Amino acid sequence: MRVVHYLNQFFGGAGGEERAGMGLEVREGAVGPGKLFEQAMGGEARIVRTLVCGDNYAVEEQESMLASALAAILEAGAELLVAGPCFQAGRYGIAAGAVCAAAQERFGIPVVCAMSSENPGAELYREKLYIVDSGTSAARMRDVMARMAGLARKLVAKAEIGLPAEDGYLPRGFIRDRFVEQTAGQRLVAMALAKARGKPYEPEMPPPAFTPIPKPPPVKDLSRARIMVITDGGLVPRGNPDHIESSAATRWGRYSIEGVADLRGEDYEISHGGYDPQFVRQDPDRLVPVDALRELEREGVIGKLHDEFFSTSGLANPLSNTRRIGREMAETIRLLDVDAVLLTST
């Protein structure tokens, strides 16, 4: 079986973040984790090509990257495409999912990729692809490769794929008919009783888990405080200089409002596909209230409005991605002389 494998610059051995801008490279044979995959397949498959691409290039130039990747996959005569494991690496997961989805749609070949359930690529592609749950630690590489190989064998043989827990892939959100001994009501009561008694039970639709966030201490003296605005409503300067995506954004930007008393609609645009932006276009202060905060500044209610605001799009963003963006913003704010942040949304 002829296999093509997609890796990012790190697992492809090209380098770390300093090589994240490298374009797609085509290498003959297996590289790095691909050698483990060949071992796991036990001689049934050979990686004929490895595609290695920098994470930044793969996300920022995705159309060009996909065109080059598909051409290389076609030329290699691939009968199977594997990608990753990507673990928790968000850009890697998004790129691997995009390559697998494109190859599956264009050539109709089996594809298997692997990443953590919190990788934003999992949210984007779990309905289209079989994604093996890699967890977050690269220490599990051999085990993940073994499960990718097992799922690949089934897909190539067109064998029946079991439930996610049986074959080790992430739930795809599909409902399957199956015979069970208890009715839905009986199962629900059994779960409720188990929960009330502190006994283990397995929900049929696991809810997302949110870590409690402790409430921050109050601002001691607002009249001396420097206030900053962050919005997930997608307000950006005209031209969208940071190329913030309107959905599932992977980027955020910081924009100067130094000396600005009132935001003008002709200077800004909205990169957010989840609401009617006409009213914000008319007056961006409706989303980032610079005019009102300048007034409070003049009246001495607040000490000072910080000279820039942060912005991103909060639409359809996987939880892991928003956590990363939040951490990046928080780390930046720690270096600024800011006492409090106003979060505005749509």
Going by the DSSP 8-state scheme, the letter that residue 284 receives in this structure is G
Task: Tell me what pLDDT residue 315 has.
Answer: 84
* Largest pairwise CA distance in the chain: 76
How far is the C-alpha of 73 from the C-alpha of 99, rounded, in Å?
Answer: 10
pLDDT at 203: 82
Contact 193, 274 (CB under 8 A): no
| Residues paired with 268 in a beta bridge | 237
Is residue 254 packed enough to be buried (19+ CB in 10 Å), middle (13-18) or exposed (0-12)? Answer: middle
Q: Tell me what pLDDT residue 90 has.
A: 84
Residue-level pLDDT at 173: 77
pLDDT for position 224 = 96
Q: How is 42-61 classified by DSSP, letter by letter? A: TTS-EEEEEEEE-HHHHHHT
Q: What is the model's pTM?
A: 0.64
Let me know the angle formed at the C-alpha of 154 by 151 and 159, rounded to the nearest 5 degrees.
145
- The predicted structure's pLDDT at residue 320: 66
Give the pLDDT confidence of 143-173 residue by residue, as tens digits. 999 999 999 999 999 999 988 888 999 988 7
Write down the pLDDT at residue 255: 98
Count of residues making up the chain: 346
pLDDT at 208: 65
Confidence at residue 174, expressed as pLDDT on a 0 to 100 scale: 79
Helix H or strand E encompassing 278: helix 278-282
Give residue 43's pLDDT.
84
Q: Which residues pair with 2 in a beta bridge?
A: 46
What parts of the chain have a pLDDT lower than 50? none
pLDDT, position 328: 92
DSSP character at residue 224: G
